[in-house]
Chains A and B, each alone.
Chain A
Amino acid sequence: NAGVTQTPKFQVLKTGQSMTLQCAQDMNHEYMSWYRQDPGMGLRLIHYSVGAGITDQGEVPNGYNVSRSTTEDFPLRLLSAAPSQTSVYFCASSHGDLYEQYFGPGTRLTVT
């Protein structure tokens, strides 16, 4: 199993550009989440999904969209990038409530 994979590993955007961060898992996990990690802030939940077709907002959802058309994939879309979205983004998946979350290697995004 590849586990949780994320692409790209690094990305530089200009303010106002849009892009999609990809996340895929091959463990047949129902639960998938996106977090952002900023220095001194820990990880904060952006959006999550409890199954295909079901998504919901987390702590910091503004400026981001998600969809879950398949169990395997959970892309994160930045609609109009802002410097405040410069961060490291982690995708995670699990079997469900209270199961261990498996994290991807992260995407480092810089918005200039």
Chain B
Amino acid sequence: AQSVTQPDIHITVSEGASLELRCNYSYGATPYLFWYVQSPGQGLQLLLKYFSGDTLVQGIKGFEAEFKRSQSSFNLRKPSVHWSDAAEYFCAVASNYGGSQGNLIFGKGTKLSVKP
């Protein structure tokens, strides 16, 4: 069965420090992977996605993610965190309910806190 694991429930980093959020997936075929961000009380916004090609993908707000098939991972990175990055981050894989791949299976999320 398809699944997404985000091992870290809560991470705290200092402003200006680098960030890496971990994501591991379980999927039999080629995965289509996403990272979403949710600010408090808000809906979800897409940060970046991987479908194929270059395994390092760039997203909005200075985020990037690297797809590593051998490790079944799709970790999210940012070289220098800003206080406004404090939010909850969700990794997701496109599912195949009913033969369609229009839906997402989400990880449980990683909450990011930023220290001044």
Q: A-B contact count, CB below 8 Å?
A: 68
Chain B residues, CB < 8 A from A45: 95, 97, 103-105
Give the contacting residue for B100; candidates A41, A57, A97; CB below 8 A. A97
A8 to B5, CA, bound (A): 32
**B28 contacts chain A at the CB level, 8 A cutoff:** no
Question: Which listed segment binds B: A13-21, A65-73, A74-82, A100-108?
Answer: A100-108
Give the contacting residue for A50; candidates B4, B100, B107; CB below 8 A. B100
**A26 contacts chain B at the CB level, 8 A cutoff:** no
What are 30 A-B contacts with C-beta separation under 8 Å?
Answer: A4-B43, A33-B102, A33-B103, A35-B106, A40-B9, A42-B106, A42-B107, A42-B109, A43-B44, A43-B90, A43-B104, A44-B106, A45-B95, A45-B104, A48-B100, A50-B100, A56-B98, A57-B97, A58-B103, A90-B43, A92-B44, A97-B94, A97-B102, A98-B94, A99-B102, A100-B49, A101-B44, A103-B36, A106-B42, A106-B43
Q: Which residues in B have some Cβ–Cβ distance to A below 8 Å?
A: 4, 9, 32, 36, 42-46, 49, 51, 90, 94-95, 97-98, 100-109
